[in-house]
Chains A and B, each alone.
Chain A
Amino acid sequence: MALSSKYHGKVLIVTAHMAHIDAAVAIQFKDEIRAEIDDHAQHVILNLAEVQFIDSSGLGAIVASMKQLKGNRKLDLAGLTPTVAKVFQLTRMDTVFKIHTSVDEAMSNDGN
């Protein structure tokens, strides 16, 4: 599986390079996200622009990743493709996460 990350100012952008976050990869995805986010990252944006499909186990893995960030640390999402956005909307997880249209949009609004 492929995740990459880089800092834009103080914001850590983690990009998922995969078409599916489903039951076949959910546990591995959760472990890799944990490894990718260092303790200093206060603000993380998970870029899902390459992800075409997510199921409930993938959704659970992203929720678990957010819950691991304690205190004021936060995890936002960016670049949801239509089917992925639909899953977040149906489960009302779109009310839990801050969702940016794209990483570029997130960065231009963030001031970082």
Chain B
Amino acid sequence: MTATEQALKRARLGDDTGCVCMPSAGKLLLRYTSSNLGTRQAMKALLHGLNPWQLSATDQGKIQVALVEVLNNIVKHAYSNQGSGIIEITCQPFPGHLGFEVTDTGIPLPAHCLTNDHLPAVDIQASLPEGGFGWFLIRQLSYDISHERRKGKNHLNLKIRLEDPSAQLA
């Protein structure tokens, strides 16, 4: 199968939600219209696109948990569940880590999301939190997290360390 055929096969994976995962210059690019099912499809397409890097199941789980929380926040907060905005993901593999940039044109990300490091209290059963875990999970599973607002776009950058030493990266 040629590189183009492989790219088209990957792209077709996300046809139903308009999610396209295209390998380009050592990067994977995904673009989809904001929705919860779109996020699920985007993760499927991303993990499929990462197949050549033979990531361990542990690393794949880590990527999935961190990225889904980032994407959920965009669907829910940046686009206020309107379902009309475009979300773009760029994934660049490096030896030992993956670099991600996620962009959207929704409302600006509040600054405290990147700095607030506490876990909601889980000691009192009657008042257990049912939310507030999203950014905590993102910060636990990734590093070098930064956010920039440029020309009406949120640019969120983060890195995810690959813990499996057997993963062969290009």
The interface of chain A, by Cβ under 8 A from chain B, is: 20, 22-24, 53, 55-57, 59-61, 63-64, 66-67, 82-83, 86-87, 90-93, 95-96
Contacts and interface: CB of A to CB of B under 8 A. Distances in A.
Interface stretch (B2-10, B68-76, B107-115): B68-76
A61 B130 CA distance: 7
A36 to B, nearest CB: 18
B122 A91 contact: yes
Nearest to A57: B72
Contact of A82 (B61, B134, B141): B61
Interface string B89-109: 000000000000000000000
A56 B134 contact: yes
Chain A, interface SS category: helix
Nearest to B37: A24
Contacts of B69: 55-56
Given A56-B137, A63-B128, A82-B58, 5 more contacts: A23-B72, A67-B130, A86-B61, A87-B65, A90-B140
Contacts of B154: none
B64 A56 contact: no
A108 B164 CA distance: 35
Contact of A91 (B37, B62, B125, B136): B136
A55 B68 contact: yes
